[in-house]
A and B are shown apart, each in its own frame.
With several copies, the nearest count.
Chain A
Amino acid sequence: STDLAPLNSDTEKDRIDWSQVEAKFGTFPKLPEGTKAGAVSKTLTNEYWRSLGEGYKAFGDKVGIPVVYQAAQSEGDQLGQLTIAEGLVTQGYNVLLVSPQTDANLQPIMEQAKAANVPVVNVNDAVIPQAEHYVGNVQRDNGVRVAKWFIKNRPNGGKVAIVEGQAGVYAAVQRTDGFKSTITEGGKFEVVASVPGNWDRQTSYDAAVNILQQHPDLIGFYANNDGMALGIVEAVKAAGLQDKVAVFGTDGISDAYASIRAGELTGTVDSFPVLTGEVALETALRLVAGQKLPRVVATPQALITKDNADRYSGPGARKALLEDAAAGQ
């Protein structure tokens, strides 16, 4: 709606941490008969988005609400995603959960949904400026966490490199910026390269090979997602530098965990897509039930390394995150 300021999910004041929702708004309310939820995400070709869908489904099953989960045919298919979202509105779903390809491509949905009196929850990644509800993590914080790891564990500083996602995509821009500005603050670290990896393993591999060749004294890579990070790991191994170069990814997909456990990938920033999905659907359904939630519900993330990988995987993750949240208060 027009009187809302354009959303910046990272800085919005009207926010609540996911761990606080139950405390503030009580147990999950009863929903009208026949409530059904529709969700549209970016693509299913990335595990992150499939896990998000699992979260939706898990919560839907728990509370007995059917959820339809659709995705565009490829990342970047902006109009295709809009078509899907329009279809969901036409079909009379009671609430929509959308993870837009870009900040703008699902904008028309906001108006159509409003007209149909259907709440829309923007879940993660790109941010629709007029979104009234957003569930997700602080993208910038991804990069910040990795930078902090370097500052703590490599006190002497050194050269680091960034492999970015698709040029111009919100998450990539924010994550990169968070990392870059945090790590350069103390003056000990130098970002010697920040190049596009286009979310693509092969491109990232080639970029990493070139960077390592030019800067054999590099101490670390930060990649905007895990697929790219796993490509970089191979390049580091091929150069025989696995003991000297730390590699971090983002997302926390299962392959990243496996690689971390195998001692190859140094770490990843897990944003817990399954949990995010559960929280998002819970938020959405609470809106359907008439509750007034803050504009942003922040979901957790954690820097995963070999030391803590077990704590954050499997069914124990939720508990661990609640503990973290409690400790953070």
Chain B
Amino acid sequence: MSDTILVQPRAEFMRGVSMRDAGTLIGLVVILAVFGALVPGFFAERNLINILQQSSINACLALGMTLVIISGGIDLSVGPTAALSAVISASMMVAGVPFPLAIAAGFAIGLACGLVNGLLVAFVGLQPFIVTLGTLSTYRALALIYTGGNPVLGLPAGFRAVFNGSLFGLPLAVIIVAFVAVVAWVVLKKTPFGEYLLAVGGNEEAAYIAGVPIARTKIAAYMISGLLAALAAQILIGRLGAAEPILGNLWELDAIAAAAIGGASLMGGKGSVVGTILGAVILGAMRNGLTLMNVQSFYQLLATGLIILAAMLIDRVTRGRG
């Protein structure tokens, strides 16, 4: 116990954050190697692109989740936020609003949902888990009421082309999310806001005395999470050609899993953009591999559970305390 608590964290710091990411990378490599050995065609370029594409939505959400988690919070409402943003911008498009405008409106919805979460957490001082549990139901209900429970169909082809295209053989969705990841990395590593996030999550009171705008920092984190949920929604409805009020079911769990596998600590003050992306790809590769192996769904569920545990274990072994 003693060494675990008191000594190992230091070891980890010494080696720096990138060691932590290396742990996650090892996890990914192991999983890829296992599937590569078991599944013929797993390493086909087409399949690798599939994995990236299938991971992109979760990665997008998980990036926002990572920032929120670093700030010491959590956002359970990402799925319903995405749904609300999706149905509203989709019905605008269907009603003839030019799609860039409709997309902007969708983003605004995402930001607004995040703002509400942020205000309740930062100004009212409620627990993030409960706030976003409450808004999880609330936003979902709003999406259902707005659409009467029906999907919004008939999205314009121009809009769909934006999110369905490819560039240099990579799906645009993947490129967009990669771009978002780079931005998130820069924000976290190179901007005052990134420092503020880490400080607020690491020691809120000290951050307060040092003049960090606590409330603004937290609110911004939730707003970014809402915005990225809205972006994920756009990517998804572009792919699906329809927006449903029940879209985004259980997204929060995958996003949290990706962030945590990637090294974010739910106690706040700690998390990595690179790690989160790797975490999302680990989950995506796993789903893809299990499907290609034609594993029955109960056993897929079993594998999902075990691989989350295994990823955390590998990670734990490669770098010290979780």
Contact = CB atoms under 8 A, between A and B. Distances in A.
Chain A–chain B contact at Cβ < 8 A: yes
Interface of A: 6, 43-47, 50, 68, 70-74, 76-80, 82-84, 86-88, 90-91, 102-105, 107-108, 129, 164, 166-169, 173, 192-196, 200-202, 205-207, 209-211, 213-214, 227, 230-231, 234, 238, 255, 258
Query: Which of B150, B243, B249, B287 neighbours the largest number of chain A CB atoms within 10 Å of its CB?
Result: B249
B46 interface: yes
A213 to B, nearest CB: 6
Nearest to A165: B297
Given A70-B296, A205-B240, A213-B50, 8 more contacts: A43-B297, A47-B149, A84-B291, A104-B241, A104-B242, A108-B241, A168-B245, A201-B240
B157 to A, nearest CB: 9
Contacts of B164: 238
Q: Which 6 A-B pairs have the closest CB atoms?
A: A104-B242, A168-B149, A196-B297, A87-B291, A167-B297, A71-B297
9 contacts: A78-B246, A80-B287, A90-B41, A104-B247, A107-B242, A167-B298, A195-B300, A234-B239, A255-B151
A227 B241 CA distance: 12
A196 B290 CA distance: 11
Contact of A234 (B151, B240, B247, B291): B240
A83 B288 contact: yes
Interface of B: 41, 44, 46-47, 50, 53-54, 57-58, 137, 144, 148-151, 153-154, 164, 236-237, 239-247, 249-250, 287-288, 291-292, 294-298, 300-301, 304
| B44, B243, B291: most-surrounded residue (chain A CB, <10 A) | B291
B149 A202 contact: no
Contacts of A78: 246-247, 249
A195 B239 contact: no
Instruction: Count chain B CB atoms within 10 A of each CB in A47, A105, A230 and give the residue with the most.
Output: A105
B183 to A, nearest CB: 24
Contact of A193 (B237, B246, B294): B294
Contact of B54 (A74, A83, A193): A83
A201 B153 contact: no
Contact of A195 (B41, B57, B246, B294): B294
A90 B46 contact: yes
Contacts of A82: 54
A192 B292 CA distance: 10
A65 B246 CA distance: 32
Contact of A104 (B244, B295, B296): B244
Contacts of B148: 50
B250 A76 contact: yes
Contact of A206 (B46, B54, B150, B304): B54
Contacts of A196: 297, 300-301
B57 A79 contact: yes
A134 B97 CA distance: 33
A145 B82 CA distance: 37
B247 to A, nearest CB: 7
B135 to A, nearest CB: 15
A7 B179 CA distance: 38
Contacts of A195: 291, 294-295, 297, 300
Contacts of A43: 297
B52 to A, nearest CB: 12
B292 A129 contact: no
A79 B54 contact: yes
Contact of B294 (A68, A79, A80): A68
Q: Name, among B144, B245, B292, B297, the residue most crowded by chain A CB atoms within 10 Å (CB to CB).
A: B297
B288 A129 contact: no
Given A70-B294, A107-B242, A209-B54, A201 B247 contact: yes
A129 B94 CA distance: 15
Contacts of B54: 79, 82-83, 86, 206, 209-210
A103 B57 contact: no
B294 A209 contact: no
Among B44, B153, B154, B239, chain A packs the most CB atoms within 10 A around the CB of B239
Nearest to A264: B241
Given A44-B296, A44-B298, A86-B50, A70 B291 contact: yes
Contact of B151 (A70, A91, A103, A213): A103
Contacts of B151: 102-104, 227, 255
Nearest to A103: B151
A207 B287 CA distance: 9
A13 to B, nearest CB: 20
A70 B288 CA distance: 13
Nearest to B288: A210
Given A44-B297, A210-B292, A213-B47, A205 B239 contact: yes
A86 B54 CA distance: 10
A231 B250 CA distance: 18
Nearest to A206: B54
A201 B242 contact: yes
Contact of B246 (A6, A45, A79, A210): A45
B149 A207 contact: no
A207 B148 CA distance: 22
A50 B153 contact: no
B170 to A, nearest CB: 15
A17 B44 CA distance: 43
B297 A102 contact: no
B227 to A, nearest CB: 20
